[in-house]
């Protein structure tokens, strides 16, 4: 016989429950019944040598990213997640507190339930660290869901049916690859090659070929503006500014989409080979499904020009980019929130570890 719990009822009706796509590059928050209401960089500005967040704890997200590479000696702009996992627990907790408080609109007397999407490759220790960080940041109860499953739900793929679906989430720190069926991952992997490695490859190319040193934001801007994984109909060029690696003086140069595509060849090939490995592991019946359904791309990397052509050419499998690929994971966490009574049995909580 069930017992009525008035406090639980009050929490459920007064709190703003939320799903969080806690990404290496960006954090998106989806509130129950309201959709995605926050999308900011996963960056925090702190006083150097400490974990004290500037501006009374408000130097997070867009405010902090504007400081990347431009801070004085006493300030440090930190990305507390690397390759999809927590690299700095204290700063991650403060970042989560900022996002949860911002979405919860100052309702300190109630705490929300939170669903957090995490990479498939993280360990049980890392999963507990995410849960504890969210609890200390103000969450009442925390559920974890693997990013590919959240993305599949967000893309309205038939992940609960006895039919194989292959999802590839090319994020900032990791590329998550999984074959989904019957609300679970049949085979999956987490590859630590994604947007950050593409940016690093561009920075290394500029240093080697043009003797020009550039920052993370400039490398990302080059990737977004003229980056590609396949030959363009009309090749592009772009003026880039930085510091001369020999003379140490400010300088500008021009780079082309052809040379940027060449330096992105290696990370794109690694992603293709990881997908090949998953396809080779998939059971034959699942492979038969994938002949028709193909591969669905989500994440920021899915927006790289020609990425579908490159993967399809490597693997001979149809590839498509999901609608609004940047928000697929966050949308999936929102759907889970709406159906927590159904999906909580396939989510992780601390008691499951």
3-class SS string, 41-75:
ECCEEEECCCCCEHHHHCCECHHHHCCCCCCCCCE
The two tokens of residue 135 are 């609890």
The DSSP symbol for 228 reads B
Give the pLDDT confidence score for residue 345 in this predicted structure: 60
Helix H or strand E segment including 180:
strand 175-181
Rounded (5°) CA angle 52-53-57: 125
Give the pLDDT confidence score for residue 89 in this predicted structure: 86
The two tokens of residue 265 are 């060849």
Burial per residue of 241-250, b for 16 or more beta-carbon CB atoms within 10 angstroms, e otherwise: ebeeeeeeee
Give the pLDDT confidence score for residue 339 in this predicted structure: 81
Give the pLDDT confidence score for residue 4 in this predicted structure: 42
Give the pLDDT confidence score for residue 313 in this predicted structure: 97
Burial per residue of 177-206, b for 16 or more beta-carbon CB atoms within 10 angstroms, e otherwise: bbbbbeeebbbbbbbbbbbbbbbebbbebb
Helix H or strand E segment including 242:
strand 237-244
Give the pLDDT confidence score for residue 3 in this predicted structure: 42
Helix, strand, coil shares, percent, the chain, to 5: 45, 25, 30
The residue among 251, 197, 250 whose CA lies nearest residue 227 is: 197
Which residues make Cβ contacts (< 8 Å) with residue 258, sequence separation at least 6?
235
Give the count of beta carbons closer than 10 Å to the beta carbon of residue 38.
18
Give the count of beta carbons closer than 10 Å to the beta carbon of residue 49.
8
Give the pLDDT confidence score for residue 346 in this predicted structure: 57
Relative to beta strand 250-256, strand 237-244 is antiparallel
Residue 87, SS3 per DSSP = coil
How do the pLDDT tens digits run along the chain, 353 residues long?
344 444 544 455 567 889 999 888 899 999 887 889 999 999 999 988 888 888 888 889 988 888 877 777 788 888 888 877 888 888 888 898 888 888 877 666 678 889 999 988 788 888 898 899 889 888 888 999 999 999 999 999 998 889 999 999 999 999 999 999 988 899 999 999 999 999 999 999 999 999 999 999 999 999 999 999 999 999 999 999 999 999 999 999 999 999 999 999 999 999 999 999 999 999 999 999 999 899 999 999 999 999 999 999 999 999 999 999 999 999 999 998 888 776 666 555 555 55
Give the pLDDT confidence score for residue 107 in this predicted structure: 60
Torsion region of 180: left, alpha or beta (phi above 0 gives left; psi -120 to 50 gives alpha):
beta
The two tokens of residue 80 are 């507390």
pTM: 0.88
Residue pair 3/37 in contact by the 8 Å Cβ criterion: no
Go through the domains of the chain in sequence order and give each one's CATH number: 43-78 (no CATH), 164-193+270-325 (3.30.420.40), 195-263 (3.90.640.10)
């Amino acid at each position: 016989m069930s017992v009525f719990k008035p406090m639980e009822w009050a929490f459920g009706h007064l709190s703003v429950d939320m799903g969080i796509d806690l990404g290496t590059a960006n954090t998106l928050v989806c509130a129950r019944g309201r959709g995605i209401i926050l999308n900011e960089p996963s960056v925090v500005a702190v006083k150097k040598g400490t974990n004290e967040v500037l501006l009374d704890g408000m130097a997070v997200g867009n405010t902090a990213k504007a400081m990347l590479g431009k801070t004085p000696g006493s300030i440090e702009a930190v990305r507390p997640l690397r390759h999809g996992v927590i690299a700095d627990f204290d700063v991650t907790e403060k970042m989560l507190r900022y996002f949860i408080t911002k979405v919860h609109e100052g309702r300190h007397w109630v705490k929300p339930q939170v669903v957090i999407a995490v990479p498939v490759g993280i360990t049980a220790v890392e999963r507990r660290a995410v849960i504890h960080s969210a609890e200390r940041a103000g969450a009442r109860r925390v559920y974890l869901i693997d990013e590919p499953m959240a993305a599949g739900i967000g893309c309205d793929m038939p992940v609960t049916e006895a039919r194989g679906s292959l999802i590839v989430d090319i994020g900032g720190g990791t590329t998550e690859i999984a074959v989904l069926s019957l609300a679970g991952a049949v085979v999956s992997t987490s590859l630590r090659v994604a947007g950050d490695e593409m940016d690093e490859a561009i920075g290394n190319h500029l240093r080697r070929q043009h003797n020009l040193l550039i920052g993370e934001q400039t490398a990302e801007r080059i990737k977004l503006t003229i980056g590609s994984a396949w030959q363009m109909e009309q090749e592009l060029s772009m003026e880039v500014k930085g510091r001369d690696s020999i003379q140490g003086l400010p300088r500008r140069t021009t780079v082309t989409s052809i040379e940027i595509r060449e330096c992105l060849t290696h990370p794109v090939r690694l992603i293709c080979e990881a997908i090949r490995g998953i396809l080779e592991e998939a059971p034959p019946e699942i492979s038969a499904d994938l002949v028709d359904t193909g591969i669905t791309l989500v994440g920021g990397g899915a927006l790289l020009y020609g990425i579908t052509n490159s993967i399809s050419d490597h693997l001979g499998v149809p590839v498509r980019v999901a609608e609004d690929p940047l928000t697929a994971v966050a949308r999936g966490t929102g759907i889970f929130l709406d159906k927590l009574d159904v999906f909580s049995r396939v989510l992780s909580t601390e008691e499951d570890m």
